[in-house]
Amino acid sequence: MDKTQEIMQKVRRIEMQARKLATATFAGQYRSSFRGQGLDFDDFREYAPGDEPRFIDWKVTARTGTPYVRRFHEEREQVLLLAVDASGSMGYASAGVPDTKLEYAARIAAVLAYSGAQNGDKVGLLLFGRQPHFYLPPAKGMKQCLRIVREILSTPPEGKDDTIEAVANEILITQRKSAMTFLISDFLEQPDKKAIGKLNFRHELIPVRVQDPAELSLPEAGRAYLRDPETGELYEAKLTGGLRAAHATAMKQHRELWDKVFVQLGIDALDLQTTADFIPALRQLFARRSRLFAR
């Protein structure tokens, strides 16, 4: 089987799973979890005590001699942007793990895309981390979802991590209107509170951190050869207890720095490992947001 056939098999398998999950699991939760783009004018009605004075329509009030206020309804259609990291580090999968981080990200993106499409939303894709970046403008329909999955899986993960500032700026440039933005990455680059804050101010941002368990703790393998997935450089290392402990501490501190940024900015982030089913975490996210917007 050649590479193209293998990719298309993966695309079809992920598409079938995503369609089923979007229909059976997230049909109602998705819609109630995210705000629409804003408010659209609906009608006028007479002013009543307790109404917001800023909604009084003075032209209608002057014409009728009676105070009238404007009524609005929420515009439910929204834009869902999937920003997916396709740098070299996303191509990693440890022994026994069926999905690379990028393939795992594709499955998450597929479920979100099909959920958005079923809600009538436009869905777009930004693949970053490799050069040149790939941007698919938001559009409606199931064909758009299929293309999104195909583009992610057919993209070879390569190149160094972009700075989060570069990613945020590209999203702000390509997506002028407010969008629900899922930023799916391993977040191995350095935290940047200013860039994340700027992106979250314009858009509704949900970071999704994807990591392989072997990245968090090195195995007891003695002497080993380690390859940098972004530069291709090969290193020989003796995985002593001290080195493994230092690595685990460094990874923990790096994750905590990102967590601190998310908490300070009031951002609801997901933290996932490629060996775990992401569906329960996604359902919990939708449930939290549903409760928030129901208040």
Is pLDDT at 23 greater than 90 in this prediction? no
| 17 and 71 together in one domain | no
Do the beta carbons of residue 267 and residue 207 sit within 8 Å? yes
132 and 193 together in one domain: yes
Instruction: Give yes or no: residues 89 and 68 share one domain.
Output: no
Mean of pLDDT over the chain:
85
Q: Which of 50-64, 127-141, 142-156, 274-288 has the lowest mean pLDDT?
A: 50-64
Q: Are 262 and 199 in contact (CB under 8 A)?
A: no
Question: Is 98 within 8 Å of 110 (Cβ atoms)?
Answer: no
Q: Identify the sign of the CA torsion 34, 39, 42, 46.
A: positive
Tell me how far apart the alpha carbons of residues 201 and 195 are, in angstroms, rounded to a whole number: 10
45: buried, middle or exposed (CB in 10 Å: 19+, 13-18, 0-12)? exposed
* 167 shares its domain with 198: yes
In contact, 286 and 33? CB cutoff 8 Å:
yes
pLDDT, position 19: 84
Report helix angle 101-118 to 142-153, nearest 10. Answer: 170
- Give the DSSP letter of residue 161: P
Task: For residue 250, give the 3-state DSSP assignment.
Answer: helix
Check which CATH number belongs to the domain holding 204 and give it.
3.40.50.410
Q: Which residue has the tokens 């700075």?
A: 163
Identify whether the C-beta of residue 199 lies closer than 8 Å to the C-beta of residue 205: yes
Residue 234 backbone class (left: φ over 0; alpha: ψ -120 to 50; beta: rest):
beta
Average pLDDT of span 253-279: 95
Same domain for 93 and 133?
yes
Mark whether 42 and 110 lie in a shared domain: no
Q: With 70 as the cut, is the pLDDT of residue 127 above it?
A: yes
Which single residue is written with the structure tokens 């499409």? 117
What domain range is 69 assigned to?
Answer: 38-75
The predicted pLDDT at position 16 comes to 86
Q: Would you give the end-to-end CA distance of the chain in angstroms?
A: 53
Peptide bond into 132 cis (omega under 30): yes
Query: Given this model, what pLDDT does residue 230 score?
Result: 67
DSSP letter for each residue of 61-125: HHHHSS-EEEEEEEE---EEEEEEE-SGGGG---TT-SS-HHHHHHHHHHHHHHHHHHTT-EEEE
In a shared domain, residues 137 and 65: no
pLDDT band at 176 (very low <50, low <70, confident <90, very high): confident
| 168, pLDDT greater than 80 | yes
Helical H segments across 119-232, by residue range: 142-153, 164-174, 193-202, 213-216
Number of domains in the chain: 2
pTM: 0.82
Structure confidence at residue 72 (pLDDT): 55
Q: Is there a single domain that holds both residue 196 and residue 250? A: yes
Residue 76: pLDDT band with limits 50, 70, 90: low
What mean pLDDT comes out for the span 185-192? Answer: 94
Residues 50 and 135 both lie in one domain:
no
